[in-house]
Each structure stands twice: as C-alpha cells, then as structure tokens.
Amino acid sequence: MNLKLRLTVFLLFSFVCNRTNAQNSQIDSLQRILRVTKIDTSKVNHYNTIADLYKEIDPDSTLFYAQKAAVLSTKKGYHFGLATAYTNKGNASIILGNYSIALKHFKNAQTEFEIALKQNPDNNQFKKGLARTYASSGVAYYEQNNYTLALNNDEQALKLYQEIHEQQGISKVLNNIGTIYRSQQIYLKALHYLKEAYKIQLSLGEENAPITLTNIGAIYFELGEYENAIQYYNKAKKGFEKYNNKRGFALLNNYLGDYYKKQNNQSLALEYYQKSLNLYEEIQNKFGASLALYSIGMLLQEQQKYTEALPYATKSLMYAQEIGIQDQTFHTEKLLSELYESLNQPKLALAHFKNYITAWDSINNQETNKKFARAEMSYELKKKEALLSEKHKREIQLVIFSILGGLLLIVLGLVIYNRMQVKRQLTLKKEVAEYEQKALHLQMNPHFVFNCLSSISSFIVQNGTDSALKYLSKFSKLMRLTLEYSKGSLIPIDKEIESLQNYLELEQLRFQDKFEFEIQSTENVEFNMGLPPLLIQPFVENAILHGMVPKEGKGKISVNFDVQNKQLICTITDDGIGLSESKLLKENSVTAHKSMALEITKKRLKIMESITSKSAKIEIIELNSAQQKTGTKVTLFLPIQYIS
C-alpha cells in the first residue's frame, strides 16, 4: 500500500474511533469520579470512557481499563458495557497492529450488542455501538488488504447509521468506503463517497472535513487533474489552519510538495516537504516523518545533491524499519542504493540493493494478494451495479405499467380469449381425430370376429366336434382379451403379445401345425408402452393365409418388438411363398379381406400422426434368396406412447 494512503487510513481510523484530543486532566478527573462511584454500571461506563481517551496516548492503558470494564460487565450481566469494552480492546489492537486479535474483539462486541438489542430493539445507542464495531472491523480488514470484507463491514455500519439517522457516523463510513475504492484505483467511486461524506461534514461543521478535502484533492492529483487537486488542497489548508489539526496538516503539506514537484517548482516543493517533516516530528509521528524524509531525499537526488540527500534517506529508513513499514523500507532501500552508487560507493550500494530486493519479494507477495482482492472486489462491484441497474429498470417498468395498465389488461384479455378459442379448436380437432381412430378400430373388431368365425366353421368341418370345442375354448379366451382392451385407444405391449400368442395358437390348431412361431420383445421396450388394439393382428393373419398355407412344408412366423431412434418398431416376418406368388394364388374374397385390413391400418396410422405429431408408417417388402422368393417382412414404425 502507498504510504500516503496508509497515513490516510490512520486518519480515517481516528474518525471511526471517535477520537478526542483528551488531556491528562480529563483522565484524572474521571479517575477521581471512579473512586466515589458506587453503581457498577456507572463504573463500567467510566472505565470504558477512560479506555477510549487513552487510545491515542497509550493503547496498553486502553487495554487495561477495557479489561476492567469487561470483568465487571460480565459479573453484572451488563451487555452494553461488555460490548463497549470489546470495542475498545479491538481499537487498541488495531493501533498496536494486532489485526486478527482486533477482529476477534469486534466479533465479541457485535454478539453482545445484538443480545442487548434483542432485549431493547429500539435503543439507538446500542445500534450506534454495533455500527461502530462494523466500521472498526472494516478498518482491520482494510489493513490486512481484505478489501471485500472491509467493504462489506462498512456497508453494514452505513446501514445501521442511516437507520438511526446518525449523520456523523454516516460521514465517517462514507469516508472509509471512499478510501477503499481509492486503494483499488476505482477513482470515480471513491470521489462519489468522499464528496458525499464532505457534504455531511460541512453541514455538521466537523473538524475532520479538511482531511476529506485532502483525500479528494489527492485523487484528482492521481487522475492528472491538477487544477482540481490544488483547489481542494487550498480548501483543506484553510480548514487545518482553523482547527489546528497538525497530523492532517502534515499530510496535506506532503501532498502539496508532490503537487509543486509535478509543476517543476522544486524550491516550493522542498519547502512543503520540510513543513510536513517538522509537523510530523513535532507530534512524534515516525510513520509520516519517514515519508517526508523520503520525499526530500528523492527531490535532492533529482537535483543531483547526493550528499545532502543521503542523511534524509538514511533517517527515513531508520524510522521505517523501527515501526515496520515494509513498503517504505522497500522504496528507501532503493533510494539509498542509487545514492551510494552516485557517490561511487559500490559496496554500500550493493548492500542496500540486496535489501531492496528482499523487501521487493515480500511486497510482491502482498501485491499478489491485493490483485486477487481487487479482482474479487471488482466482481462484487459489478454485481452491485447490475443489481442497481436492474432495480432502476424495474422502477421505470412499474411507471410504464401504471400508465398503460388499463390498455394492457384489455390486450391481455383479448389474447387470452383468442388463445382459449385456438386451444378449443385444437381440442375439438384432436377429439375428432380420436373419434375417427375409434371408428376405424370399431371397423376392425367385426372384421376380426368375422375372420375368426370363418376359421371356426372351417375347423369344425375338417376336425369334428371334440376338436372344435377345444378350438372354441381358445377362441372365447381370445375374444375376452380382445374385447377387454378394445375399449381403450392403446393396449399394453405385454397384452398385445398375449393376444397374438392366443391367436397364433388357434391358427396352429386350425392348420394342424402348418407353421411355428415366435414372439420377441427387446429390453429397449418398456413395460408401460402401448400401441393401438388390433394393429398387428391383420398382418399376422395375412402371413398365415397368404404365406404359410400355400407353402409346401412347414413355415415360421416371427413377431418382434423393439425401440430404435425414438420409435416403436413392430416387425412381422414369415418365410412363406412371398408377395408375388401370393398375388397369383389369392382368391377374390381373400383379396377383399386383405385390402380392407391394409386400407384401415393406413388410415389409423395417418390419424396417429395427427394426434401425436410424430411419424407413423408401414413398410412391406418381399424377402429374396439367391434362387426364389423366401417370404415377406412387414415393419410398422410407430410413435412411442405410454399407458397412463
């Protein structure tokens, strides 16, 4: 992180902690009050106030008094006092650089504040304390380069402050959010939040307003808009002179030094850098002093005043190492290496260059983490912008719908009525098709019965009464099965197989085992698939009468069910005399019989196509061997239908 930006974070942290320039007399006065205070909750509140006052002066003392408040609060079940104690511990831990410990304290504080709020939901003091813990957590996450969690916590704090109309808290959190976006180089977002914060600060007359102006000027400087930058710097300068904020004024002087250096006014730049250094050393702020010393060293190096620059760079490194600022150490080691090289001292130049590389490796790892955090934050930002954009669109749509509501309802009514009419017509069309299918089916029933009665008559004449009784028994079983399933539009495949089995057994009996048969179903065929009744039987009958009966010797009929390419395939194959030979031998009655069955079946398939919107067709081919016709193959390609 850029050192100036880190200094800004610490200034903003003083916002979050509600920093006061408490004098030792204030602490002494509170300690005197403590000696005579008898009420435990009042003691807790005094302990927490003293802890907060010690925060800037002596963080260890803050931890001491916060612990006293925590112990007494736990003993008395005083959730608000315990939550405030945890918050003070967390803030002291941030100043001491113990960020993970600080986050644990803030988490405990949030738990205690939430318990207190459950007991008293309308207490704004509890909500303000909870908001403060979220804002402080945001600072801790920010210092760990976890910008996504920092932003999430600041947004939680902002929501709570807005709920209780705490303008001062709102301005502080807006400032923090602006700094997060600035560190991610999302400058337009940063400017938006910082300017919103400044509006509130201006209306409240806050003494922290000059720091916000400084940050806005720094962003314009980084964007290359130098006129805007100097305008905000000058406004901030007047504010610092009014409120006597030495820390903020020191940082502003450093920014002014950068500005005049960019304008090639090196004498004025050096003057402001020196002012910044004097202020930082006056308040014993080694953090800022290291930056000011480095800035002076860089300016003198550009002027080729290497000997004069050396003590500034050396002291800057000493401060940076003393307080553990890795990024400032990195820059100062590089500056010292260059200065010693310019002064023709290669050993010292090499030593500082090695230190520079070591620091660079450490920072590079941190930068990698920042890139991931930046990518994550960018994603979250785009996501939120998309949500806001979507919300805006919905608001516009709501206005349009309100204006055109009546008209749209009328149009919608017409569309619904029209669709109902179309649906009704389609339903009627489908019902007509189904009735046509049933009518054709009913034509098949008497056709089938007539053929069976003819077969019985022939059988009685040829085989006598006893055999006829056996035949009639099988016939009655077949008729019951046929009539049972002829009422529906579909028959299960297993029942169709059973029906065909009975029919073929009857015909075997009638023609004295003139043929053998087999019926197979592959594993692709599901148990609840169905097909129209009496669709297969006419082709099996034709195979017997026109293929098997005229043939010399014994023949074979095969019926197979399979599923291929999302179609139910029904195949009837015989090794009879074939189509050509059959045409020469068939009688007129048989011809009429076959033509009727085939014509009805073709109509049924066309209607099936219209109902299911899927292909349904029949294919009849003559099987040939090398020397003669060897049979007929009928294939039905049907849409897959299920029994409901």
Question: Which residues does 225 contact at the CB level (< 8 Å), separation at least 6?
Answer: none
CB-based burial of residue 123 (10 Å sphere; 0-12 exposed, 13-18 middle, 19+ buried)?
middle
CATH number of the CATH domain containing 490: 3.30.565.10
Closest CA to 550 of 517, 519, 518, 587: 587
C-alpha 490/C-alpha 443 separation (Å) is 16
Boundary-marking domain end, from 147, 165, 194: 147
Does 435 fall in a domain?
A: no
Residue with the two structure tokens 């916002």: 15
- Per-residue pLDDT, averaged over 37-57, amounts to 81
Handedness of CA 539, 540, 546, 552 (dihedral sign): positive
- Quote the pLDDT of residue 22: 41
Boundary-marking domain end, from 117, 147, 177: 147
Q: CA separation (Å) from 128 to 45, 77, 81, 133, 492?
A: 16, 20, 13, 9, 73
Number of domains the chain is built from: 2
Does 243 fall in a domain?
A: no
Is residue 347's pLDDT more than 80? yes
Does 200 fall in a domain?
A: no
Is residue 454's pLDDT more than 50? yes
pLDDT digits (tens, 9 = 90+) for 274-298: 999 998 888 777 878 888 899 999 9
Give the pTM.
0.51
Coil, strand, or helix at residue 17?
Answer: coil
- Quote the pLDDT of residue 371: 56
- Quote the pLDDT of residue 342: 92
Is residue 56 within a helix (H) or strand (E), and if so which, with residue range? helix 40-57
CATH number of the CATH domain containing 3: 1.25.40.10
Does 72 fall in a domain?
A: yes
Residue with the two structure tokens 């520079």: 356
Does 543 fall in a domain?
A: yes
Instruction: Read off the DSSP letter of residue 58.
Output: -
Does 436 fall in a domain?
A: no
Does 287 fall in a domain?
A: no
Q: CA separation (Å) from 590 to 364, 449, 545, 596, 633?
A: 96, 15, 9, 10, 19
C-alpha 15/C-alpha 6 separation (Å) is 14
- Quote the pLDDT of residue 44: 87
Beta bridge partners of 521: 561
Boundary-marking domain end, from 103, 129, 147: 147
C-alpha 621/C-alpha 624 separation (Å) is 9
Residue-number span of the structural domain to which 508 is assigned: 481-642
Does 115 fall in a domain?
A: yes
Q: CA separation (Å) from 407 to 374, 417, 420?
A: 49, 15, 20
In contact, 30 and 49? CB cutoff 8 Å: yes
C-alpha 78/C-alpha 81 separation (Å) is 6
- Quote the pLDDT of residue 416: 85
